[in-house]
Amino acid sequence: MGRKKSYDRDETAERALHVFWEKGFEQTSLKDLEAATGVNRYGLYDSFTDKQGLFRECLTGYCASVMAMIEGFTSTGFSGLLGVIERFAEADFEEVHLHHGCLAITSMLEKECLSEDLQQLLGGYMDGILGAIRATLESEKKAGVLRKDLDIEDCMGLMHLIMVGLPTLSRTSPDADAMRRGGKSALNAMRTWLA
Amino acid sequence: MGRKKSYDRDETAERALHVFWEKGFEQTSLKDLEAATGVNRYGLYDSFTDKQGLFRECLTGYCASVMAMIEGFTSTGFSGLLGVIERFAEADFEEVHLHHGCLAITSMLEKECLSEDLQQLLGGYMDGILGAIRATLESEKKAGVLRKDLDIEDCMGLMHLIMVGLPTLSRTSPDADAMRRGGKSALNAMRTWLA
DNA sequence: TCGATATCTAAACGCTCGGTTGGCTATTGC
DNA sequence: GCAATAGCCAACCGAGCGTTTAGATATCGA
């Protein structure tokens, strides 16, 4: 009973995601979200509680899709850490959206504006990825794919650096190719480092 | 004639710098600046025109001091790119302030909030540093200090990545040592890459 | 067809922001 | 000591923010 919604909930979140992605949480206003989604603030508040609720849905979806992407790579024959990273990098670079960097990293840079649960979500996301990288490094080192004398801690430092550096490169550089070049260089450096 | 100022201009800018450094331009309010400097908004506007004027003075001072630091290293016997970078890294890591990352990088991430001249200042600062690194790479390659087959473009990609990645590491990581570890790893990677 | 109900639009709310102003206070030259 | 000057402080301004609400509108069951 009653009037029907004139918008699709998921599609609205998807459109909002791209605004948050481009401008960040704080810099995105309700006006921006109304314009991008075509939904009046009332509808946004009705469906997502408040601005942070909408952002939470966008961010969790984003993190989940990135995770799914990585798992997709590992389960379709791209064995080896470098293989996964390489394919991930290729996927990244082809996606126009990623010219705005990584939503998770961007959000961590404005964590003071976010509620506690969102900060924990971001922390968990990062820890999850870093933990997966570390586990892969250790198992591949044990299996002899990587150098026997590889210092895992040291290597993780570079992995972490690259992980946060590449999105930052894409956001700070006017040149859209800066991230692609950085990624290529990083892969080269890792190859000489790891093997 | 008239009443004397109750504050020192340079000291005020220095204190304001640390607030901008920690919170970024946009997130720093006049209230914050009043509290940190002990100077009423009237005084700040009288001495620096407006919020952006104060920020301009802080940012130019910051960039100049970093440049002076680098030049200090090169002119006191630390020849070689890696030597300079290493010493710069050590200086960075000892400075408590750099737990908040690099003001220039932080500012480039919110360039939409800054006036045209500040964006150009930031661009020039980055280009200056990157240009100096490139020139050093080329001359050291020619002099035989570095590998003869070193791909300069490729190498610059990594340099740029590290340059923006390290400050981001320090700002996104709750662990204060993340940047130190990232810097150490980056130096190791560069050593194997360059030599 | 009509009343009940869910949704839409647009206006308004309270708040904080950067920026300004006017009355008070300290310092100066005479 | 007194008028002139410059600086200080607090209150105020308009704008924009996220959020709420009131009234109009569309859709449903009966």
The pLDDT value recorded for residue A93 is 65
Contact in structure between A152 and A134 (CB atoms under 8 Å): yes
Element (H, E) at B16: helix B9-23
Contact in structure between A44 and A66 (CB atoms under 8 Å): no
Binary contact (A109, B23; C-beta < 8 A):
no
User: Could you tell me how many residues make up chain B?
Assistant: 195
Q: What is the pLDDT averaged over residues B95-121?
A: 90
Tell whether A85 is covered by a domain. Answer: yes
Query: From the alpha carbon of A25, which nucleotide's C1' atom is closest?
Result: D18
The DSSP-derived string for A106-155 is: HHHTTGGGS-HHHHHHHHHHHHHHHHHHHHHHHHHHHTTSS-TT--HHHH
Tell whether B149 is covered by a domain. Answer: yes
The pLDDT value recorded for residue B19 is 97
Give the residue from chain A lying closest to B186, CA to CA: A158
How far A5 CA sits from the closest chain B CA (Å)? 35
Residues B60-78 pLDDT 10s: 999 999 999 888 888 776 6
Tell whether A37 is covered by a domain. Answer: yes
The pLDDT value recorded for residue A95 is 67
The pLDDT value recorded for residue A127 is 96
| Total domains, chain B | 1
Confidence of residue B21 (pLDDT cuts 50, 70, 90): very high
Binary contact (B184, A108; C-beta < 8 A):
no
What range does the domain containing B96 cover?
Answer: 60-194
Tell me whether B166 touches chain A (CB under 8 Å).
yes
The pLDDT value recorded for residue A191 is 87
Q: For residue A150, give both structure tokens.
A: 């590889």
Rounded CA separation A174/B10 (Å): 33
The pLDDT value recorded for residue B98 is 65
The DSSP-derived string for B122-161 is: HHHHHHHHHHHHHHHHHHHHHTTSS-TT--HHHHHHHHHH
Tell whether A1 is covered by a domain. Answer: no
Q: What is the pLDDT averaged over residues B150-178?
A: 93
The pLDDT value recorded for residue A115 is 96
Tell whether A139 is covered by a domain. Answer: yes
How far B46 CA sits from the closest chain A CA (Å)? 29
The pLDDT value recorded for residue A149 is 92
> In which residue ranges of chain A is pLDDT below 50?
none
How far A1 CA sits from the closest chain B CA (Å)? 46
Chain A residues whose CB is inside 8 A of the B165 CB are: 161-162, 164-166, 168-169
Tell whether B111 is covered by a domain. Answer: yes
The pLDDT value recorded for residue B177 is 84
The pLDDT value recorded for residue A139 is 92
Q: What is the pLDDT averaged over residues B42-48?
A: 97
Chain B residues whose CB is inside 8 A of the A126 CB are: 172
The DSSP-derived string for chain B is: --PPPSS-HHHHHHHHHHHHHHH-TTT--HHHHHHHH---HHHHHHHHSSHHHHHHHHHHHHHHHHHHHHHHHHTTT--SHHHHHHHHHHHHHH-GGGGG--HHHHHHTTGGGS-HHHHHHHHHHHHHHHHHHHHHHHHHHHTTSS-TT--HHHHHHHHHHHHHHHHHHHHH-SSTTHHHHHHHHHHHHHHHHH-
Tell me whether B27 touches chain A (CB under 8 Å).
yes
CATH code where residue B190 lies: 1.10.357.10
The residue assigned the tokens 């961007």 is A106
Tell whether A3 is covered by a domain. Answer: no
Rounded CA separation B88/B73 (Å): 8
The pLDDT value recorded for residue A94 is 63
The residue assigned the tokens 């960039």 is B63
Q: What is the pLDDT averaged over residues B131-154?
A: 92
Amino acid found at B86: E
**Is residue B188 pLDDT above 70, yes or no?**
yes
Tell whether B71 is covered by a domain. Answer: yes
